[in-house]
Structure 1
Amino acid sequence: MDSYDVIVIGVGSMGGAACNALAERGVSVLGLETYQPGHDQGSAHGGTRIIRQSYFEDPAYVPLLRSAYDGWRKLETESGRSIMNLCGGIYIGDPENPVFAGSREAAEKHGLAHEILDASEIRSRFPTMDPADDALALYEDNAGYVRPEETTIANAEVAARKGATLRFGEPVIWWGATPGGGVEVITPQGRYGGDRLIVTPGAWAPQMLADMGLPLSIERMIFHWFTPDFSAVPYEYWHEDRHPIYVEETHANQQIYGFPMTDGRDGGFKLGFFRVGTPTTANTIDRVVRDEENETMRDRARQLFPHLTGPVVQAKTCLYSVTPDEHFVVGTHPAHEQVSVGCGFSGHGFKFVPVIGEILADLATAGRTDHPVALFDPRRPALAAI
């Protein structure tokens, strides 16, 4: 039986970053993954993911985001791939809505550069948008998007170059702690032993971490790409050179988020609902997007983007793994100190990929981390069995 210092189950976004960080430290690491790098079966596909720092979910995330930005730049340099683009970000809502008010709180608490815009200023600067008259926005330059497929491929390539052993197309069928304080993992191709284990299973967490009893909701989500009316607002105003990423919720009209046009005039303008999903499992998700789902999205989108009237370019499904408090699960397995877990990223975790990889590597090699992770404790009350 082959043996390693650390085994990583799930070499997607977080697991790939962990393999990269471990290999850089000279650790003997084996990564096991069911699919190929950059696959579209989980939560890390669709061409773009938002990155931002004025974090309305909780100001406690901002220090981690600063570390993550350093990690994104490092990954670009090491891989030679184009991964991050800072095109700016705008977060729009009525004055009391958390999208606006929470973004402002995070920016002011952490001294982040930003501007506050009223509705007329939003319309003037971004002609694609027509917000409610009482809407306010926080705008920050230090926001944009990253490429999820490029990220997972880059981490795998760089980790392998640093010495990691990565086995794709090799699903894990069982793992367990051994009496001597190590771990054993079984796949259809073999048995592997290790001193430490990291489990980053994405939407497969209910199966791979069943003994933890985590109250995760696995949800089917949809991305939509629509064609704008370029005769009303010319293409250049929809393009990433002039258009930011955005999040908007005004008077409880249901939060939406999205991106500028990043892939040419025919690529479509991408957006989606946040947390308007249907329960599913990773193995039974319905991948077919129906016309009525596209039109529901378009109707909501036109509250902010009235000229988003052209044909649907495409629509794709993805998977959210959501905790009751929408904070991540990152820490040591409650029953096995040699096992670390990273899951439940609740639809807003991808921007943290580099720093989560570092944290998981810290936990596997030192049993602790200097990064602030108390918010993600697997033992927190919000994750108690219900």
Structure 2
Amino acid sequence: MSQSFDVIVLGVGGMGSAACFELARRGRRVLGLEQFPLVHARGSSHGHTRIIRTAYAEHPSYVPLARRAFEKWYELEQLTGRHLLTECPCLNAGPPGSEHVEGVRASVRTHNLAAEELTGDEINRRYPAFRFPGDFTGVVEQAAGFLFVEECVRSHIDSAISFGAEIHPEEAVRAWKVVGDGVEVTTDRGTYRAAKLVVTAGAWATKLLASVGVPLRVMRQVLLWFAAGQRPELFRRDRFPIFIADVPGVPFYGLPAIDAFGAKVARHYGASELPDPDGVEWDVNSADVDVMRENLTTMLPGLGTFTKGQVCMYTVTPDRHFVIDLHPEFPQVCVACGFSGHGFKFAPTVGEILADLADGGATKHDISLFSARRTR
């Protein structure tokens, strides 16, 4: 079987589904190939919720992309009639000199963002579920919230199909190659040709994009939910913000309780880096819960029993910035990978960028930070 398309997208998770949608909406003949069932839990686009924020600690260059992402998520809500984004303040906290908090302040200054400074004691009074040390400092921003991640992916897929995209679940890609001015993709079911290729393969980019330039590694991360305890009202989103705590040793983040499973918390970085996804252990174990216990006991003592856990993967670059670019060797190939555990919120913006790159080889968005040609 051989079929031809304008664009083939490899991987239909958070970024790939958005790319399929943007390309199909522009009238392109799109094929999306996904090795797992659609909206699966074997990658990086699951776990019920994901944080979205604007005062970006990682680099001020992310701020315009985050602003655009808010616009695009609201647009997708309007298009589909589904609730995807819930607004909620974001608390960024850490000890004096915290790299994360200082990064937030840099973005606030650069882009003149609305934000409020709090001491550790002020944080604890305003949000009484927390017990941060008195010398901690924090920045609270209102331009933040959380996304219902599976529903976001599903909405992009459904919308792409409504615009004519062809999406093939459970069809693993075995190889791709450049043929003349186009590309050829081989799967378990056949061979497909297209003028352009978009690779949004998550952790499997370690295999499909071995020559992309920037080194890619895989990090197993565990999402944990804990019951809201004896005072559940303290963990409602009207009294408990999404937060990122730059705690020495085990930095972690969390979201308010929005269902019977309670508040969600997870470690950020700190786990071993693997060469590819093959070595990831998908079962949550007692050690995964124990690594979070000390932080919860001292800083969120009101949380109760562990209720559930889920494993996801970070695909990390050495500098923890994304790779979004044309392939260094093949201009008909666009790549988006290495989202390093903080990419999902940008999915609709990334989809727009990839559609731009596939259409004309350039985008109005500033993606210089994400060059595949950078050296680290």
Q: TM-score, normalised by structure 2?
A: 0.97
Correspondent of 2:245 among 239, 245, 248? 248
Quick one: structure 1 residues 186 and 53, their matched pair in 2 at CA, closer, same or farther if it must change by over 3 Å?
Answer: same
2:271 counterpart of 1:277? yes
Describe the superposition over 1:203-234 as per-residue Cα deviations: whole angstroms up to 9, x where unpaired: 0011111233541110111111112432xxx2
The 8 Å contact of residues 267 and 313 in structure 1, kept in 2 or not, is answered as yes
Q: What secondary structure does 1:194 align onto?
A: strand
Describe the superposition over 1:111-133 as per-residue Cα deviations: whole angstroms up to 9, x where unpaired: 11111111222111101001111
Give 1:332's aligned residue: 326
Shift of 1:8: 0.6
Give 1:299's aligned residue: 294
2:13 counterpart of 1:12? yes
The 8 Å contact of residues 221 and 278 in structure 1, kept in 2 or not, is answered as no
Shift of 1:188: 1.5
The 8 Å contact of residues 256 and 301 in structure 1, kept in 2 or not, is answered as no
d(CA) in 2 for partners of 1:153 and 1:20? Answer: 11
Q: What secondary structure does 1:289 align onto?
A: coil
Shift of 1:253: 4.0
Summarize the alignment of residues 1-386 of structure 1 with structure 2, pairs less than 5 Å apart: 1-179=2-180, 181-212=181-212, 214-230=214-230, 234-250=231-247, 252-263=248-259, 266-280=260-274, 281-308=276-303, 310-382=304-376
Q: What secondary structure does 2:332 align onto?
A: strand
d(CA) in 2 for partners of 1:174 and 1:292? Answer: 37
d(CA) in 2 for partners of 1:39 and 1:163? Answer: 22
Unaligned runs of 5+ residues in structure 1 are none
The 8 Å contact of residues 95 and 101 in structure 1, kept in 2 or not, is answered as no
Paired residues, number: 374
4+ runs deviating over 6 angstroms: none
Farther-moved stretch of structure 1 (72-81 vs 196-205): 72-81
Farther-moved stretch of structure 1 (101-110 vs 297-306): 297-306
Alignment RMSD (CA, Å): 1.3
Letter matched to residue 150 of structure 1: E
The 8 Å contact of residues 121 and 133 in structure 2, kept in 1 or not, is answered as no
The 8 Å contact of residues 37 and 149 in structure 1, kept in 2 or not, is answered as no
Q: What secondary structure does 1:59 align onto?
A: coil
d(CA) in 1 for partners of 2:351 and 2:79? Answer: 15
Letter matched to residue 163 of structure 2: K
Shift of 1:149: 0.7
Describe the superposition over 1:250-274 as per-residue Cα deviations: whole angstroms up to 9, x where unpaired: 4x243111101012xx312111111
Shift of 1:65: 0.6
Q: TM-score, normalised by structure 1?
A: 0.94
Letter matched to residue 28 of structure 1: R
d(CA) in 2 for partners of 1:253 and 1:127? Answer: 24
Unaligned runs of 5+ residues in structure 2 are none
Letter matched to residue 366 of structure 2: P
d(CA) in 2 for partners of 1:108 and 1:214? Answer: 30
d(CA) in 1 for partners of 2:288 and 2:164? Answer: 45
Shift of 1:287: 1.4
d(CA) in 2 for partners of 1:301 and 1:255? Answer: 12
Quick one: structure 1 residues 29 and 294, their matched pair in 2 at CA, closer, same or farther if it must change by over 3 Å?
Answer: same
Farther-moved stretch of structure 1 (288-297 vs 200-209): 288-297
Shift of 1:363: 0.4
Q: What secondary structure does 2:349 align onto?
A: helix
d(CA) in 2 for partners of 1:140 and 1:275? Answer: 23
